[in-house]
Structure 1
């Protein structure tokens, strides 16, 4: 802003100086054309008439030098010489001297004009010399200075007005943002501090809008999950209430049927516990505001033991695994607690929904500046579909976002694939 103001003042001063130079030259040229002998004669005649009126009013004689000198001083721009009987009796250049006793004779010059005035003691000849051109040149100079200064002031005010208009525009746009219209883009003009401020305001607007969109998305996801979870909880609760009512009224046929009903109640209760555990884990992950990421390590150090243990556990449950992981020498930063919870979630889903006849594939994934792993399995066709929510997947996605990674899920009728990608350092 200081540089722009200095540039504005310098430019306005330069423009005003050039305008002054041109205007002064034009005025001087006009004065030179206008100032001639006729103009001088007119001015001299005007002063002679004024002098005659003054003499008549004061009834002066030709030797009243004091009164004559007082009149000349009031005119300021002229010198007066008075001759009587061709003898110099008054000279405004030497007002204190008594000239009529010196008998200074009249010397007429071609460039001087002599006029007759009448005193109380007779007529006299008057020669008037004035700096008329100097006065005109002063008028031209003053006019040029005044107009040039006005031009300088106008240019400065015009430059400042541009910035003021921009400030007023930003003020209006801020009011628009205050009203809640975060889609309105802040105008960024120039490369000064105001432009930087406008750019910062626009970035803040974008951040607010993204934050609001993110919060709205989270709210919608939470609302959807709660709705689906409520529906999924209603099914086992209804079954438990039904079987409990049967047992209370003793409407079972045998001890075997009683045992069967009790086992069904136990399975439904376990399902409810699983659903509530998933919901609690999801709320725990999304409710955390900050996590502590650990020191950077290679992928092999971070994931080798976890993947090996997970594959061994799946094999103990009767699944076959195919591991085609290529360990890269790059490093990443993770939260080990999140990694363990994600692996438990993935293994739990595989056990509940995967087809044991088809191998579970674990492979490497690398895209751009991110790398990680993918788990792929076939979907069991006769599996229990009671838990239709994706709370576990949502929890994994939330944890990956907090570790600056991403989670991608591809789910079809027969195949399920989840990819975990971590940022490379």
Structure 2
């Protein structure tokens, strides 16, 4: 019951109860005085009856007003005290003090709103703590990853300056190493920059309706030229609808990151990467399958986390920056899609993701 209705009923009760009480007092006192007491309704008897009736009515009014005021104020003051206590707890940094209310009045709604605010503040605090933890982890990982190529570049440059590279062949080898490490460093910085923009939702996306079949067909031609040692297969039912809403550049980045990751872990003589398109009711599913070394089952849930590596050696051949698949996940989620991995150790890995269908305009 709302506070407004409660106060209205209280005011009505303050009128009705005294009226009914007055009638009862009139009947009871009249019965006691004039029936049982055999008094005559005149003179001193009548005066005494009037005095008793006045005292009884005043007592009735005082008791009625006091009880109604107490009970009504109690239903208002008690919730306010709870709210005040909760506010003090929040002020002190305690966000675990619940103030959930089952009442449907205004104060109950206020308490529930206050409870939602408390939960939001607690979630924000936990998110902030998580971001701080991620930030510290990010700084530590960046420091480690950047130190390796920088140290290598510095060492080779110092070798050239000290005259260690005292032959054209040795000098060329030193310069080639410096060039490779510089490329590696540039790629790591670029991936870090891209991931940071995606994580802060500051990466601009230019969505358009794409024929993903034609798009992937062109990409496969590009990949076959880039990785001529790998056998690429592309399969799809051309009669199906493969129009999706996507950003060309960012989708290209995501697919290339998956392919690059697959290439690093292919350990078979006949390297193979198969790309398949499957139409669903509201999505198009893209499957990128390789015949690489595979991933342990316990590691699968973490491969899309930033700086997570299934190869803990962090070597230049397979270590990478640890951001490639994390960037893929961010891009696919920005498209409103989902991504997951399936793998069998020693057999290979399949990266699957869904993209929403688009309509031709």
Q: Aligning the two structures, in what range does the TM-score lie when normalised by the shorter sequence?
A: 0.7 to 0.9
- In the TM superposition, residue 211 of structure 1 has moved relative to its aligned partner by 2.4
Equivalent residue, structure 1, for 2:177: 264
Contact 1:365 1:374 in 2 (8 A): no
CA-based RMSD:
3.9
Which sections of structure 1, spanning at least 5 residues, go unmatched? Answer: 41-128
Equivalent residue, structure 1, for 2:271: 357
Work out the CA distance in 2 between the residues paired with 1:328 and 1:191: 54
- In the TM superposition, residue 165 of structure 1 has moved relative to its aligned partner by 1.1
Contact 1:365 1:421 in 2 (8 A): no
Equivalent residue, structure 1, for 2:307: none
Equivalent residue, structure 1, for 2:233: 321
Deviations 1:295-353 (A, max 9, x none): 8x6xxx46444433333333332341344589987998766664444334334434444
Equivalent residue, structure 2, for 1:420: 353
How does 1:239-278 map onto structure 2 within 5 Å? 239-252=152-165, 254-278=167-191
Query: How has the CA–CA distance of structure 1 residues 17 and 334 changed in structure 2, closer, same or farther, with 3 Å as cutoff?
Result: farther
Contact 1:365 1:419 in 2 (8 A): no
Question: Normalization by structure 2: what TM-score?
Answer: 0.74
Equivalent residue, structure 2, for 1:35: 37
| Stretch deviating more after TM superposition (408-417 or 25-34) | 408-417
How does 1:17-416 map onto structure 2 within 5 Å? 17-33=19-35, 35-36=37-38, 130-153=42-65, 154-252=67-165, 254-288=167-201, 301=210, 303-316=212-225, 317-318=227-228, 319=230, 320-323=232-235, 338-354=250-266, 357-362=271-276, 364=278, 372-379=285-292, 384-385=316-317, 387-409=319-341, 414=346, 415-416=348-349
Contact 1:182 1:206 in 2 (8 A): yes
Work out the CA distance in 2 between the residues paired with 1:262 and 1:380: 33
Contact 1:275 1:387 in 2 (8 A): no
* Bigger Rg, structure 1 or 2: 1
Contact 2:83 2:99 in 1 (8 A): yes
- SS for the counterpart of 1:188 is coil
Question: Normalization by structure 1: what TM-score?
Answer: 0.64
Deviations 1:191-248 (A, max 9, x none): 1222222222222222222223223323322322332222122122222222222222
- In the TM superposition, residue 278 of structure 1 has moved relative to its aligned partner by 0.6
Aligned residue pair count: 330
Higher relative contact order (CA closer than 8 Å, sequence separation 6+): 2
- SS for the counterpart of 2:271 is coil
Which sections of structure 2, spanning at least 5 residues, go unmatched? Answer: 295-310
Work out the CA distance in 1 between the residues paired with 2:22 and 2:257: 84
- In the TM superposition, residue 12 of structure 1 has moved relative to its aligned partner by 5.4
Deviations 1:152-185 (A, max 9, x none): 3121331122211111211111221222222222
Contact 2:241 2:279 in 1 (8 A): no
Query: How has the CA–CA distance of structure 1 residues 408 and 335 changed in structure 2, closer, same or farther, with 3 Å as cutoff?
Result: same
Contact 2:213 2:277 in 1 (8 A): no
